[in-house]
Chain A
Amino acid sequence: MALVAAGVVGVACQDVVSAPGACPEFCPESAIDVRDTMLSTVLASSVVATDTGYLNSVVPQGSYAGYVLPHEAAQMPVVGPGSPVEARALMVFFRFTGNYAGGDTSVKDTIRQTDSLRFTFNILRRNTNVSGVTLALHEIPIVTDTAKTFADMDPYFQDSTLIGTLVVPDSVDSGTVAVTLLPGALRHFVADSLQSGIGVSIVSPDSAFVTLGPDSATPAARIQRFVQVDSSTGNKLVSRSETRQLYFKTFVADTAGAPPPSGLRVGGITGARVFIKLNLPTRLVDSMVVVRASLLIPPPAPIPGAPGDTFHLRVLPLGTDFGPKSPLADPTYGGYTRVAVGSSDTVTMDLTRAFLLWRGNAVMPHTVMLGMVQFEEAGSIDAFDLPDQSSAASRAILRITYGAPFRPGR
């Protein structure tokens, strides 16, 4: 008997009941009901969202800055004076020592002569429609710090401080460029105990921009010193080099020429973030299966920023909503999209995965953060302004594709 029972159970594990449907005769009469809808109604921008009386599906809460300071930003924008915002990069390198410390023990460490200094910069992106971009390198104080403003640093970007120029080849959209200078070009190099500070600006053409920063293999900038040292036998001079990385970096920007934001601003020099409350029908979150959700945002004006540049705009739900310092949810629940400076096209942000987080979770706020992707945050003059939500013609809306609860026999 036990054998019979065991045999029967064993066979039971191999059930095969799956089959293609022969519709409509031999398909279940109940159908999956997937619908598409827009959540948009009359809005007063001051409306505080509630689940019971949502007047508007998208309610901006505010624009907040200070999450990433310029010296913490991953990248440094360098923008020419012809743009609405002019930006300059400031860099201070680690100091060299009086002796050679390049790691080659087969030579003696006494430096007989310094031949040259080479500065190498890593370009992350630039406006590719401009040719002949020229960077100007100025010597700046090695005590430059985070408190310095564009105006503070302006005296160091004069002809008297110019130590060299660097033409970015048109063929280089991203990658490294370098310039080699004689040691005497840096007038304070020796006096500053073999430490150097460099400011980078664009001198031509005016509308150009270059974004400097590190990538996975290359630092944002480095300095290389070429020297002559004695060989191990001491009877001849040999050339060696050693490298120093960045000790400090930041950027300064002049925003005086930039038009004021036409709405709550995302990004910009301050890397601002906007929090948006979504007024969602309770039934939509609790009972429906959202298969696609898109936040459609028409820019109120052409997207401001460095001409020809593009940037990533990201959206991410808040873990808890208690103002500007609200923690963000896991990044896997967010999304991002690339937008182009100067475009007036509606920007579509994917919110589908946020609904996975919200479904059946009464604790999670239905508030999302709109900001730049972290790598670009506070390291760009690009920005994105939200439209005025009181205007029915131009406000942001939420487009939801969802499946109604499946009910057998209906």
Chain B
Amino acid sequence: MTMGARVLGIVALVGLSAPGVARAQNSVYGIAGLGFPGEPLSVPARALAGGLAAVDPYSALNPAAVSNVGNLVAVFTGGTTLRRYTASGDTAIGGLRETRFPYGMFGGRITGTPVSFALNFSTYAERTYDVTSAGTQVLRGDTVQVTDRLGSDGAVTDLRGALAFRVWPRLLVGAAVHMLGGSSRLDVRRTFSDSAYLAYVEQQHLVFSGYGVSGGFLLRATRAIELAGSARLDGRLTSRIRGDSVGSARLPVSLTGGLRLSPARDIRLSATATHRSWTRSQPDLAASTQAFDTWEVASGLELGSMPLRLGVRYRQLPFSNVGTQPTEVVFAGGSGLLLAQGRAALDFAVERFRRSGGGADEQGWQFSVGVMVVPISLR
């Protein structure tokens, strides 16, 4: 197989995770505000609960890390979520299940230069839900029972183009532009107990757009210590229906810091902390929705050459329809192996999450599989 054919094959694989089909997991906390925030993580980083994110060249958090990609590589992931939740104390829902393709990447070193590039696709905010509620309405002097169904299927997606280069042997810097897009298919229905009323049915296609920039560094202080930092500034997220703007919201400024320690050959510790100023969006949200700034702290441990990965993450969630901020705790684990004589890698991760606060308690499992393909052996 020629190099050109290999590259074409990789591009085709990345194409499988195009914005139209890639979505992340759902959550009861994704109903409010701009949606449930996504995680631009590769599967190894997920197995470390996100602790590796700040220094991971295959995740989309710190553009400087792209310099470590090396050869051309394509990554795509798929994941299935199983979850259940209780809300408002008396609503218990189980058996919810979703399968999505939330992340993809294509990148590598530009031949003959110290510059590396990466194109990443990830979920910025998940907006998939399907909620049914019942109530009454007085119409024409009579009280009519109504059943509402509000369904949304889609996500705000984040397409990142990043460039990074090695300033000094131990210092990498990078910058990226982010193009927010994606869409959500809305299915809105109200049925009436009185058959004299036809059902209110409306189906709309909500299209999102927005832009952002990010920059970061990665410093190899010693052979055993790497430090990383990045910042991201997003503009406004605009929603349109049939080309007409139906609203926009300010997006947060994100600041990330992280480190990786390699005290021994087969022991790697990593940690990442991120702060996002979601309250910037508060003036643009519905009055009933409360936005919160969030902290996200994650740490992971990787052992061995066919690694065992473990991690834990705590993060605050940005939106609530009541005054208290929800939080999430995730315990993760996973591993990976090389395939095809090192020309491909298969990673998997299992996450156990629990989200609580704001009147709900949500628990579940996330199973992720990632495939990495390279034209040259990883060995």
Q: Which of A's residues lie within 8 Å of B, judged by CB?
A: 1, 4-5, 8-9, 11-12, 14-30, 32, 34, 36, 289-292, 350, 352-353, 356, 399, 401, 403, 405-410
A320 to B320, CA, bound (A): 52
A291-B200, A410-B286 as given contacts; A21 in contact with B358, CB under 8 Å: no
Q: Does B193 contact A (CB under 8 A)?
A: no
Q: Is the CB of A19 within 8 A of B96?
A: yes
Taking the closest CB of chain A, its distance from the CB of B199, in whole angstroms, is: 7
Q: Is the CB of B200 within 8 A of A408?
A: no
Q: Which residue of B has the minimal Cβ distance to A4? A: B369
* Complex A-B, nearest 7 residue pairs according to Cβ-Cβ distance, in ascending order: A22-B87, A21-B133, A29-B286, A12-B99, A21-B131, A22-B88, A18-B130
A213 to B128, CA, bound (A): 60
Residues of A contacting B153 in the complex (Cβ-Cβ under 8 angstroms): 17
Secondary structure dominating the interface of B: strand
Q: Name B300-341 residues within 8 Å CB distance of A.
A: 320-322, 339
Q: Does B148 contact A (CB under 8 A)?
A: yes
26 A-B residue pairings within 8 Å (CB atoms): A1-B339, A4-B369, A16-B95, A17-B130, A19-B129, A19-B131, A20-B131, A20-B133, A22-B87, A23-B133, A25-B87, A25-B88, A26-B88, A26-B360, A32-B148, A34-B139, A34-B200, A290-B198, A352-B196, A401-B197, A403-B202, A406-B202, A408-B186, A408-B246, A408-B247, A409-B249
Taking A11-B97, A26-B360 as known contacts, 17 extra A-B pairs with beta carbons closer than 8 A to each other, sorted by chain A number, are A4-B369, A5-B78, A12-B100, A17-B98, A20-B132, A25-B321, A26-B359, A27-B150, A28-B131, A29-B321, A32-B150, A289-B202, A291-B198, A401-B139, A403-B190, A403-B200, A406-B202
Q: Does B41 contact A (CB under 8 A)?
A: no
Q: Most B CB atoms within 10 A — which of A11, A14, A34, A406? A: A406
Q: Most B CB atoms within 10 A — which of A29, A34, A291, A408? A: A408
A291-B200, A401-B139, A408-B239 as given contacts; A30 in contact with B360, CB under 8 Å: no
Q: Does B60 contact A (CB under 8 A)?
A: no
Q: Does B93 contact A (CB under 8 A)?
A: yes
Which of B26-34, B173-181, B219-227 is the contact stretch? B26-34
What 1/0 mask marks residues of chain B from 109 to 148 whose CB sits below 8 Å from any chain A CB?
0000000000000000000111111000101100000101
Q: Is the CB of B186 within 8 A of A19?
A: no
A8-B78, A28-B129, A30-B286 as given contacts; A352 in contact with B344, CB under 8 Å: no
Q: Is the CB of B239 within 8 A of A409?
A: yes
A25 to B153, CA, bound (A): 20
> Which one of A27, A29, A350, A410 lies within 8 Å of B133 (CB-CB)?
A27
Q: Does B201 contact A (CB under 8 A)?
A: yes
Size class of the B contact interface (CB-based, 8 Å): 35 or more
Q: Is the CB of B139 within 8 A of A36?
A: yes
Q: Is the CB of A32 within 8 A of B200?
A: yes
Q: Does B105 contact A (CB under 8 A)?
A: no
Q: Is the CB of A34 within 8 A of B133?
A: no
A4 to B87, CA, bound (A): 35
Residues of A contacting B320 in the complex (Cβ-Cβ under 8 angstroms): 25
Taking the closest CB of chain B, its distance from the CB of A162, in whole angstroms, is: 51
A34 to B139, CA, bound (A): 9
A19 to B148, CA, bound (A): 12
Q: Is the CB of A17 within 8 A of B360?
A: no
Residues of B contacting A18 in the complex (Cβ-Cβ under 8 angstroms): 130-132, 151
Q: Is the CB of A292 within 8 A of B239?
A: no
Residues of A contacting B374 in the complex (Cβ-Cβ under 8 angstroms): none
A290 to B151, CA, bound (A): 20
Q: Most A CB atoms within 10 A — which of B97, B200, B202, B322? A: B200
Q: Does B213 contact A (CB under 8 A)?
A: no
A291-B198, A292-B198, A401-B140 as given contacts; A20 in contact with B247, CB under 8 Å: no
